[in-house]
């Protein structure tokens, strides 16, 4: 007799019982994850239960950056400090967060093939991109409104990046200006671009960033207003603070319903008017960060306008990679917005090889989404990435301990990358090729 149906019923009964416990029921975010697991496959449930077992074994939260053993140690420390709604914004994906989990799980399906008897005394982790040499291939991806996680905000992240020699991208809707970010970093900062639906505003943002010294503009194409961010919405319900105290009405461009229909009196234009990159601009007609009508025609228009390097962030297929190269872009970022844009269930690490194939070596390719370990960085490099980015981990460090936390996150990732390069027998990044990875058998 096949015992699978009985095991499935038992699993569901156990998960339901777990969901009624005070530990889970008291946490809106944990309960959302558990609700998703009631619909999940047994393997997903196994992963969650293993994580829960580890959680039960130790409820300690680190109290200083030096106590962290890995970047995941910063997550509970940050959650302890960050207000519920702000934490929900950082943690959320789309629908039941399945693509957030898929991004992370994608790396577990790749094995590393290690070579032996290689002199690994000296390890070179540097990478040159557009003529600039970076100490490592680790990139700090753009995350908006970082002062929501810690008063240091983007400037603390920029200072950490400058101190440790890392490339950083600044969000269009950051809580710091490009001028201040470049000054804090003491060097170049790439400007991420939400073009909005008003061309004059788009032009002004580009000109401002170029004048400030940003060497690259990174157009995001994978996000539309109104995505169903259930984890955020549930976290907002349990946050008892009055958002008007710090948000001037509490408007969120990703609230339920159509953009601009928030209870905030100022609406969408008021929301972006509070962002430094829009200072001095007429935003009264801006209703979208990414216009629904955006097409390759806009890419051509931007390519003709941008005088620095021009990249597209959010490309995940070979076909679009080929089109991007045809339109003269200088680079691509393989990204699904950390699972915050759409619930495709496709991890970016699985999209990476076909995008690399599509560009055919003509432009650099950066990848982000689900990166948590030095081994993840190694795997992405082996599959053709020029550099590898992450957003949530450095924000966990920021939320937990400010700039010092960001520095600690970066140091852990550098240490782990150096370790796996030694263990695999690769003394420099150009030696990390596809020969060093293979798909893990099911």
Q: Supply the residues annotated as catalytic.
A: 337
On whether the CB atoms of residues 331 and 308 are closer than 8 A, the answer is no
State the Cα–Cα distance between residues 151 and 145, nearest whole angstrom. Answer: 11
Q: How far is CA 411 from the centre of its chain?
A: 18
The helix (run of H) or strand (run of E) holding residue 168 is strand 167-170
- List, in sequence order, the alpha helices (H) in 58-97: 74-81, 84-91
On whether the CB atoms of residues 147 and 153 are closer than 8 A, the answer is yes
On whether the CB atoms of residues 42 and 49 are closer than 8 A, the answer is no
Instruction: Give 400's contacts (C-beta < 8 A, 6+ positions apart).
Output: 62, 65, 74, 77, 78, 80, 81
Residue (of 100, 44, 63, 141) closest to 405 by Cα position: 63
Using the CB atoms, write b or e for 359-381: b if 16+ within 10 Å. beeebbbbbbbbbbbbbbbbbbb
* H, E, C per residue of 138-159: EEECCCCCHHHCCCCHHHHHHH
CA distances 137 to 75, 126, 388, 402, 417, Å, are 23, 7, 6, 23, 10
Instruction: Give 123's contacts (C-beta < 8 A, 6+ positions apart).
Output: 418, 421, 422, 427, 428
Q: What angle, rounded to 10 degrees, do the helices at 42-57 and 4-19 form?
A: 40
Q: Are strands 132-134 and 127-129 parallel, antiparallel or unpaired?
A: antiparallel
Structural Rg of the chain based on CA atoms: 22
State the Cα–Cα distance between residues 329 and 299, nearest whole angstrom. Answer: 8
Q: Are strands 365-368 and 331-334 parallel, antiparallel or unpaired?
A: parallel
Token pair of 61 as six digits: 């939260």
């Amino acid at each position: 007799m096949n015992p699978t149906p009985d095991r499935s019923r038992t699993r569901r009964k156990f998960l339901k019982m777990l969901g009624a416990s005070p530990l889970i029921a008291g946490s809106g975010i944990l309960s959302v994850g558990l609700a998703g697991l009631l619909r999940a496959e047994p393997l997903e449930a196994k992963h969650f239960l293993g994580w829960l077992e580890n959680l039960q074994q130790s409820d300690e939260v680190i109290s200083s950056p030096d106590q962290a053993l890995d970047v995941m140690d910063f997550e509970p420390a940050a959650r302890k400090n960050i207000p519920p709604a702000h934490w929900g914004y950082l943690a959320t994906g789309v629908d039941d967060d399945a693509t957030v989990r898929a991004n992370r799980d994608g790396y577990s399906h790749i094995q590393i093939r290690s070579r032996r008897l290689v002199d690994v005394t000296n390890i070179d982790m540097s990478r040159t991109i557009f003529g600039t040499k970076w100490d490592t291939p680790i990139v700090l991806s753009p995350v908006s409104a970082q002062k929501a996680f810690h008063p240091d905000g983007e400037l603390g992240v920029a200072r950490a990046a400058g101190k440790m020699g890392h490339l950083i991208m600044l969000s269009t809707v950051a809580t710091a200006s490009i001028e201040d970010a470049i000054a804090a970093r003491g060097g170049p900062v790439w400007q991420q671009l939400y073009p909005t639906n008003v061309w004059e505003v788009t032009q002004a943002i580009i000109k401002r960033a170029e004048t400030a010294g940003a060497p690259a503009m990174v157009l995001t194409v994978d996000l539309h207003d109104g995505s169903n961010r259930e984890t955020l919405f549930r976290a907002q319900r349990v946050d008892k603070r009055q958002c008007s105290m710090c948000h001037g009405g509490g408007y969120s461009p990703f609230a339920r319903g159509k953009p601009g229909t928030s209870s905030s009196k100022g609406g969408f234009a008021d929301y972006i008017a509070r962002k430094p990159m829009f200072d001095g601009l007429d935003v009264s007609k801006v209703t979208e960060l990414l216009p629904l009508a955006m097409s390759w025609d806009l890419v051509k228009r931007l390519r003709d306008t941008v005088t620095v390097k021009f990249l597209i962030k959010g490309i995940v297929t070979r076909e679009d990679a080929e089109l991007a190269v045809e339109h003269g872009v200088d680079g691509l970022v393989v990204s699904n917005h950390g699972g915050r844009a759409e619930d495709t269930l496709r991890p970016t690490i699985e999209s990476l090889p076909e995008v690399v194939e599509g560009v055919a070596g003509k432009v650099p390719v950066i990848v982000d989404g689900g990166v948590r370990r030095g081994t993840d960085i190694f795997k992405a490099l082996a599959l053709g990435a020029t550099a590898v980015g992450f957003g949530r981990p450095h924000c966990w460090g920021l939320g937990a301990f400010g700039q010092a936390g960001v520095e600690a996150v970066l140091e852990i990732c550098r240490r782990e990358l150096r370790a796996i390069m030694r263990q695999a027998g690769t003394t420099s990044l150009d030696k990390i090729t596809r020969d060093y990875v293979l798909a893990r058998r099911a």
